Amino acid sequence: MKYYLAPLEGITGYIFRNAHQKYFTSADKYFTPFLVPKPNTGKQFTAKELADILPEHNQGIYLVPQIMTNKAEDFVTMANALQEYGYQEINLNLGCPSKTVVSKGRGSGFLSDTEKLNRFFDFVFSHTNLKISVKTRIGLHDPDEFPDLIQIYNQFPFEELIIHPRIQSMYYNGKPDLTAFAYACETSKNPLCYNGDIFRASDFHSILARFSVPSVMFGRGLVANPGLIDEIVSQKFMEKLTFRAFHDQLLEEYRQAFHNDVNAMFRMKEFWYYAADMFTDSSSYAKKIRKTKNFVIYNQIVDRLFDEQELMSGAGFSCISS
């Protein structure tokens, strides 16, 4: 079984990945938040994107850059640039449900144009020798779109299909469509990876009881509980001291990267949106973390949370407000 960490924009960059690998069982693959090609600009990557993919920022990590585009030529150009940095596998984002992204026909918005999607892959596989994987939803508006998508995917030798079995319009609401994932297991000619709502070890075991897949991808669940892989593999629940050290490294690395305590604090607020669910009686602390604009007060709140509350064995991201 292989374990992957999904890309979450603004959270799972190289600072998070390095801290996760240091304090917890490493994921077998980490994926970058999506990179967007910039044709006719004279440069392939923004400074932020370049920092995230530099090999020296990802030592000892198997990192898969993820590209978001609906233009095959731009995908190949960026993939070739990534290959120069030593990358051998590239992922295409066909899963992002954001309205802004979808309105441009990217992410899960690309799924509605199956003819263009087929031409896209035909061009990509004839113009690169890199391993190509896809992170996909099961359709834009209706799960009935999924068989046509599988038919397209079956025409090409993907490294793997990472399937989040929701349609775009669900965003992260409702439950993953396990019937659709079962269909993929029955009909796909490519290796599959399951992704979606694995927030606790019990969620993982439920999926594995139903599906025989070689890999699973965690997103929000592993951000909330960075020790989730340890919990699954060795039944070892995350210790509070380890979680505190993980938090402190994140905060310090963000301070160094941003050269600004307040910006570092706001990045940590995104982390706490997920991670607060791991503590007993955490709602009042989480609310104070969200509201504060003062770095000193932020640290005081976090100190009290760690001192006054305990981690809950078996807890996970609640997703109630997501």
Cα gap 36→66, rounded to integer Å: 9
pLDDT of amino acid 42? 81
Cα gap 307→75, rounded to integer Å: 48
**% helix / strand / coil in the chain, to the nearest 5?**
50, 10, 40
pLDDT (mean) for 248-260: 97
Choose among 146, 140, 136: nearest CA to 169.
140
Q: What letters, b where the CB count within 10 A reaches 16 and e where it falls short, cover 212-239?
A: ebebbbbbbbbbbbbbbbbbbeeeebbe
Tokens 């760690």 sit at which residue? Answer: 306
pLDDT (tens digit per residue) in 204-238:
999 999 999 999 999 999 999 999 999 999 999 99
Is residue 320 over pLDDT 60?
A: no
Terminal Cα-to-Cα distance of the chain (whole angstroms): 28
pLDDT of amino acid 319? 62
pLDDT of amino acid 322? 32
Q: Quick one: how far is CA 93 from the chain centroid?
A: 11
The pLDDT mean for the chain works out to 96
Dump strand ranges (E) for 107-253: 131-136, 160-163, 192-195, 215-218
- Please tell me the total number of residues recorded for the chain in this structure: 322
Confidence label for 318 from pLDDT (cuts 50, 70 and 90):
confident
pLDDT (tens digit per residue) in 45-65:
999 999 999 999 999 999 999
Is residue 299 over pLDDT 70?
A: yes
- Torsion angles phi and psi, residue 227, rounded to 5: -95, 15
Percent of the chain with pLDDT over 90: 96
Cα gap 226→204, rounded to integer Å: 15
Is residue 133 over pLDDT 70?
A: yes
pLDDT (mean) for 161-179: 96
Is residue 21 over pLDDT 90?
A: yes
With contact defined as beta carbons under 8 Å apart, do 149 and 180 qualify? no
Confidence label for 41 from pLDDT (cuts 50, 70 and 90):
confident
Percent of the chain with pLDDT over 70: 99
